[in-house]
Structure 1
Amino acid sequence: MLTNNPVLEKKRNFSIPLRKCLLATVTMTLFMQQLIAQSATKFFNNKDLMQVGTYYYPEQWPESNWERDIKKMSDLGFEFTHYGEFAWAVMEPEEGKYNFEWLDKAIALASKYKVKVVLCTPTPTPPVWLTQKHPDVLMVNAEGRTIQHGARQQASWSSKTYRQYIEKIVTVLAKRYGNNPTIWGWQIDNEPSHYGNEYDYSENAQKAFHDWLKKKYQNIDDLNKSWGNAFWSILYNNFEQIRIPNGKELVAQPNPHAVLDFKRFTADEAADFVLYQRDILRKYVKPEQWITTNLMPTYPAVDPLRMKSLDVESYTKYLVAGYDSGHGEQGFRMGSSSSIGFSNDLFRSINGLSGVMELQPGQVNWGLFNPQTMPGAVRMWMYHVMAGGNKFVCNYRFRQPLSGGEQYHYGIMKTDGVTVSRSGDEYIKVINELELLRKAYKPTAFPAILTKRKAAILYSIDSRWEMDNQPQTNQWNYMEHVNRYYNGLKALGSPVDVIDESKDFSAYPFLVVPAFQLLDYKLVDRWRTYVQNGGNLIITCRTGQKDREGHLWEASFQQPILDLIGAEEIYYDHLPVSLKGKISSGNDSFEWNNWGDILKPSTASVWAKYEDQFYKGKAAVLNRKLGLGTVTYIGSDTDDGKLERKMLQKVYQQAGVSTLNLPEGVLVEYCDGFWYGLNYSSQNQNIPVPANGKIIIGQRILKPAEVVVWRE
């Protein structure tokens, strides 16, 4: 949440313009805080810190189990449960014939045992009668295969027929439960996506894409010009001739401008699909019932920033499934420290209210391999969620299923349905510890040192889409690049917001702009003003190579940023995986081979230079002062992030701001008056709890996956 984050005082010497800028920033920040506080109070009680819930599927268990299970849920301390997202076929077994008696009973049992309910719209799983009657509602994958009934997320967001059925079922649900006091909030759909298929190539999507293009370009000549369709004789005579760009249908790569537009269209369709349901719900449900959807934070086809008008932004997070090696030998059992952290700082920053609707409960069944989680890891994740300012956390799921596609997926309860699982014990421990923290809660001012360290990362999903399509090297990974800077900032003890261009940059003393490939001169002017007024801007490689539509500039390469960063020329190099290049900065040496911008300075100082290849001695990192602030350009992308971390540290030192120096995998976070130390590393770590810190939970020296919480 944005709290007390004025532009950094430049060694305490303010000019008159900067004082005015700071006053305006503080005024606007306080105003935004008041709006966020009003929304938070409407839906949540701040002294609760974070509420804990668990998924339950009454339709998947014998009715004779329901009361036993929900009573057990309540006895263990869970404050809410989650019903309905996969239950359409039970709610409406035949078209127009509804069955809600089972759901009425399940909600009544939750009420009896004082467990609140998050009720879901069942739209990720259309019933078979619907898809067989209207097969055109089904999505089509890149191979041209229609995705059939038998799993989930098989429907096309662009199908008007599907939306007609959605409107009916959502309206019935909203009218029936919109004033039920047990319903705490609503979740729309579930992880809106098409999972491994990602994109929809159905005729519904083709038609909707045509409409989207017509709205954007108005006439076909403008589209042809923007897409560069004279190249390879791709020219179109009308919009109806256009097919969704699909590499499976072509002998060469698709037109990159068409691909960029298609990804923008898909993200718009996903957002419209969710907000369409939000609008239906809001007609009938009482204002105190909040509305969200649970998104996968880095799933590339869906953009959470397009859904910022939801009451609460929530996400799904699984860290241990063989995809994330984490930190050190045992990191695969805990995941990376940035996984939850980046998601917290992205989703919280959208509108100030966030939650984690689906958190891994322990071992899962769908990964590359499925290891046991490190003892304590699930508990640590829950504390990380709370440290990130989230209002709730919910695990998937209360009972481990005995049949179906997720039999090996842990629940809070073991397969017997009555015994708490190993990782379930960690949920119960946090629930009990929360009572200590709630008793110790009292509102406090945001610490002054964190105000000075506050940073934002400017996230560009358009640039990500463009670079995913044209990476230029098989070693380029946008999210890994961003996380090198995120991890570097967290190692310095910096609070971070992950923001988009709609935010006020002046609220942050430090602004990191990673690989912002697509931009315009207006944005560069905003950066310049930010720096002149005292901000510290860190720009990284690939930034400014193209305009918003993915065209190279008819000018010097990266022309819009050259004057800003104090450079005369930029060109880039890549190295093979087997070769490591060298970069030096003072007495420090670094390795790189992913991406290297070779820089010719004009007005900037050289902070690092290449030590080999034919450009030995050329600049790799530039820094300049501009007005009251600074601009730093970091031209290389490394594997280990050591160069990036060192340059960030140097920027903070230049600004006169003290920082921490945390080991890899160690985090220190602050939220709601509490400090949190988290150990994602594979070794014991000494957390820098100050001498005046009063430890409430844990201790200073943490084993892997342990937590310490203190107040100052």
Structure 2
Amino acid sequence: MHCLIRCKKLALCLLTALAINSSFAQSADKFFPKKDLMTIGSYYYPEQWPHAYWERDLKKMGELGFDFTHFGEFAWAFIEPEEGKFDFSWLDEAVALAHKNGIKVILCTSSPTPPVWLAQKHPEILMVNENGTTMQHGSRQQISWSSPVYRQYVSKMVEALAKHYANDNRIWGWQLDNEPSHYGQYDYSEAAQKSFRNWLKNKYQNIDSLNATWGTAFWSLRYSTFDQVRIPNAKELIAQPNPHAVLDFKRFSSDEVTEFLGMQYQILRKHIPANQWITTNLMPEHAPVEPTRMTNLDFVTYTKYLVAGYDKGIGPQGFRMGSPTSIAYANDLFRSVNGTTGVMELQPGQVNWGKFNPQPLAGTVRMWIWHAFAGGNKFVCNYRFKQPLTGGEQYHYGIIGTDGVSVSTSGVEYTQVIKELKSIKPQYDANAKMPAAYASRLTAVLYSPDSRWEEDNQPQTYQWDYMQHLMRYYGGLKQLNAPVDVITEDKDFSKYPVMVAPSYQLLDAKLVERWRRYAENGGHLILTSRTGQKDRNGKLWEMKWAEPIYNLIGAKISFYDLMPDSVKGTIQMNARIYNWNNWADIIEPNAGTQVWATYTNQFYAGKAAVINRKLGKGSVTFVGPDTDNGDLEKDVLRRVYQQAGIPIKELPAGVILDWRDGFWVGVNYGDRPYNVTVPTNGKVLIGDKVLKPAGVVVWKE
């Protein structure tokens, strides 16, 4: 009973925090005057350099034109060298030097790096990975967000920091932690086990409800008390874990870090002025932490590294530029959470931790910064100002090279963008309106973290990947020059002429009804593979396969097929043939539903693959297959726009054209030049109409 009461109190506190913070979230844009466009900063670590260098380094940062710097996220051992003894003298001096050189400061809480004395005194704060190994002092993010002891020490440290710098107008904003994620790992510590049980008690209230939802009659998994439940861990099970337990654990893990950061937010907000913002930086690729659930901060920002050997990009030199959708997707996802965002950590050049670490193509770093601007970011910060001489990132580029004074190649590109941004600020027009043709194709991508988590756990084929599936549609939208918001269900659908809901496996009748109203009122809805198969708890419907969407799409889904990678299924739409072998829903359309594409081989040749129906003033399209190259997905999007009378602009792979605050920005991740069409009344402000690979063009109409 005590645990249940405690859990209810925690939930109430979190809901209260969300309510309090909603006023900040709704007006997050207030922190950044639009006329400033986008400011640029760089990380600096005074504690990592001899004191004699500080003044020289921060003076150099100011001379290069950087607007702000970033202190303290890894500095707990210097802030609290002994338990309860806080030392801010060194940080005070660093803040003063930054201010002296015209540089604003983002101050950070140091929660990802507890000092060694804390880990030795309280080893229970350390996280445990899926193999049962306790993480140790010697790196970062080795702690458990669930540990009450750890939270107590974090609270004291953040309180001391907040009180010391309360009302200090040299501080621009605050960052909580740094990339809270455990870098893709989950916590199986005893503290996490207890907290998970409390989370389950709060959700289900009684163990019978949990048993019914999880289907624990299967394999005799039935529990008598919540204390018997363990975190589902495939490494300690002889067969696959209960999928409903896995889904709840992933939800819990995201909620746990959200609540942990919310605790820090509340402490800071008691002391700092209202005009100072509070955020954290996340990585969109890391599923354990879900940015769309972090509405209890003023806004969220992202970390982005594109060139580290994992992304081949486009063409023979694409590995030196990365994918055109990488920054684009992060822009459109993070901006949509609370209405504004920034890039807290952007790759500064060559790095050290990748699969292999190539040198970016000349101009690429500049292109990334401009791409961030095009996506609406309020600031870009690079990690880091000086290349480290010691520690775990010696081969990681900085703005300044290893001699401590020479500007690196990427540093030159940063200073170039700083000057270019300054040059266009006089051209800013507060009354600029998004061009009508561009605005007419505004599209929402409806993102479902629950479906992502559920499908990651039960992909059914090693080729299935929720995010790759989503990105096939997202990439097609960018090639059709559509402005995109990546949104979740809590947002309003009505302002979007087109909405794509990729692989929405978990849903309920309320969402299906919202979709129906959206289409009837003139929206054009596109649903895709695996949609509607299960309820919100991951349970298959006790009805025909995916039946809840039948009336909406005007068809039945007979079955789905999966094939080995050596076998190709074929599809025909109009006169074009497409290949697939990842996933295919086989469709039986109702009378009045149009068939846009059919399967042309396998035993169901002639069956519908893509269908479309008019519904009220709008339409609903269902796409059964998932392809490898995304050509079918792009062609379906094009056809939806054309049928709706929405003008499109075809762009080659790799070229992104975005509009922001009266400026058009073009970047090229492709391997060929692209001739940008600038109207006769337009004026090129930056770059050239011939957009070369890794090139940038900015113009105003």
Partner of 1:64: 52
* Helix, strand or coil at the partner of 2:619: strand
Matched, 1:161 2:155: no
Matched, 1:630 2:619: yes
* Helix, strand or coil at the partner of 1:695: strand
Q: Distance in 1 between matches of 2:166 and 2:368?
A: 32
Partners of 1:210 and 1:240 within 8 A in 2: yes
Matched, 1:313 2:313: no
- Give the alignment partner of residue 278 of structure 1, picking from 253, 262, 265: 265
Map 1:310-709 to 2 at 5 A. Answer: 310-443=297-430, 444-603=432-591, 604-709=593-698
State which drifts further: 585-594 or 54-63.
Answer: 585-594
Q: Distance in 2 between matches of 1:85 and 1:565?
A: 50
Give the counterpart letter for 1:396 in structure 2.
Answer: Y
Q: Distance in 1 between matches of 2:557 and 2:99?
A: 67
Structure 1 segments unaligned to the other structure (5+ residues): 1-33
Q: Distance in 2 between matches of 1:351 and 1:99?
A: 35
Residues 527-567 of structure 1: CA deviation (Å, up to 9, x unaligned): 00000000000000101010000010110100111111110
Partners of 1:124 and 1:155 within 8 A in 2: yes
Partners of 1:517 and 1:546 within 8 A in 2: yes
Partner of 1:136: 124
* Helix, strand or coil at the partner of 1:284: coil
* Helix, strand or coil at the partner of 2:257: helix
Residues 484-513 of structure 1: CA deviation (Å, up to 9, x unaligned): 111111111110000000011111000000
Deviation at 1:449, TM superposition (A): 1.2
Residues 252-308 of structure 1: CA deviation (Å, up to 9, x unaligned): 000000000000000000100111100000000111111000011121000111112
Q: Distance in 2 between matches of 1:340 and 1:105?
A: 35
Q: Distance in 2 between matches of 1:479 and 1:108?
A: 44
Q: Distance in 2 between matches of 1:212 and 1:328?
A: 48
Deviation at 1:181, TM superposition (A): 1.3
Give the counterpart letter for 1:180 in structure 2.
Answer: D
Give the counterpart letter for 1:430 in structure 2.
Answer: V
Map 1:66-85 to 2 at 5 A. Answer: 66-85=54-73
Partner of 2:6: none
Give the counterpart letter for 1:313 in structure 2.
Answer: V
Residues 117-136 of structure 1: CA deviation (Å, up to 9, x unaligned): 00000000000100110000
Partner of 2:17: none
Give the counterpart letter for 2:475 in structure 1.
Answer: N
Deviation at 1:115, TM superposition (A): 0.3
Partners of 2:556 and 2:589 within 8 A in 1: yes
Matched, 1:205 2:192: yes
Give the counterpart letter for 1:159 in structure 2.
Answer: S
Give the counterpart letter for 1:139 in structure 2.
Answer: M
The alignment's TM-score, normalised by the length of structure 2, stands at 0.96
Partners of 2:313 and 2:322 within 8 A in 1: yes
* Helix, strand or coil at the partner of 1:505: coil
Give the counterpart letter for 2:671 in structure 1.
Answer: S
Coordinate RMSD, CA, aligned: 1.1
Matched, 1:118 2:74: no
Partner of 2:3: none
Partners of 1:401 and 1:407 within 8 A in 2: yes
* Helix, strand or coil at the partner of 1:690: coil
Map 1:177-256 to 2 at 5 A. Answer: 177-196=165-184, 198-256=185-243
Deviation at 1:451, TM superposition (A): 2.1
State which drifts further: 124-133 or 302-311.
Answer: 302-311
Residues 114-166 of structure 1: CA deviation (Å, up to 9, x unaligned): 10000000000000100110000100000111000000001100011111101
Identity of aligned residues (%): 62
Give the counterpart letter for 1:83 in structure 2.
Answer: F
* Helix, strand or coil at the partner of 1:609: strand
Partners of 2:480 and 2:648 within 8 A in 1: yes
Residues 16-71 of structure 1: CA deviation (Å, up to 9, x unaligned): xxxxxxxxxxxxxxxxxx99895423x11211100000000000000000000000
* Helix, strand or coil at the partner of 1:497: strand
Give the counterpart letter for 2:104 in structure 1.
Answer: K
Q: How many residues align?
A: 677
Residues 401-454 of structure 1: CA deviation (Å, up to 9, x unaligned): 000000000000010010000111110000000111111111201221122100
Partners of 1:558 and 1:570 within 8 A in 2: no
Partner of 1:18: none
Q: Distance in 2 between matches of 1:598 and 1:522?
A: 25
Residues 196-253 of structure 1: CA deviation (Å, up to 9, x unaligned): 4x10000000000010001111111111111111111111111101110000000000
Map 1:5-154 to 2 at 5 A. Answer: 39-41=28-30, 43-154=31-142
Q: Distance in 2 between matches of 1:108 and 1:282?
A: 23
Q: Distance in 1 between matches of 2:285 and 2:258?
A: 15
Deviation at 1:351, TM superposition (A): 1.3
Partners of 2:24 and 2:298 within 8 A in 1: no
* Helix, strand or coil at the partner of 2:342: strand
Partners of 1:677 and 1:709 within 8 A in 2: yes
* Helix, strand or coil at the partner of 1:185: strand
The alignment's TM-score, normalised by the length of structure 1, stands at 0.94
Partner of 1:15: none
Give the counterpart letter for 1:590 in structure 2.
Answer: Y
Partner of 1:20: none
Q: Distance in 2 between matches of 1:590 and 1:633?
A: 16
Give the counterpart letter for 1:329 in structure 2.
Answer: P
Partner of 2:10: none
* Helix, strand or coil at the partner of 2:657: strand
State which drifts further: 439-448 or 468-477.
Answer: 439-448
Partners of 2:25 and 2:297 within 8 A in 1: no
* Helix, strand or coil at the partner of 1:110: helix
Q: Distance in 1 between matches of 2:24 and 2:499?
A: 24
Q: Distance in 1 between matches of 2:55 and 2:539?
A: 61
Partners of 2:299 and 2:337 within 8 A in 1: no
Partners of 2:128 and 2:135 within 8 A in 1: yes
* Helix, strand or coil at the partner of 1:136: helix
Q: Distance in 1 between matches of 2:358 and 2:485?
A: 32
Partners of 1:51 and 1:391 within 8 A in 2: yes
Deviation at 1:193, TM superposition (A): 1.1
Q: Distance in 1 between matches of 2:406 and 2:72?
A: 24
* Helix, strand or coil at the partner of 1:506: coil
Deviation at 1:571, TM superposition (A): 1.1
State which drifts further: 356-365 or 220-229.
Answer: 220-229
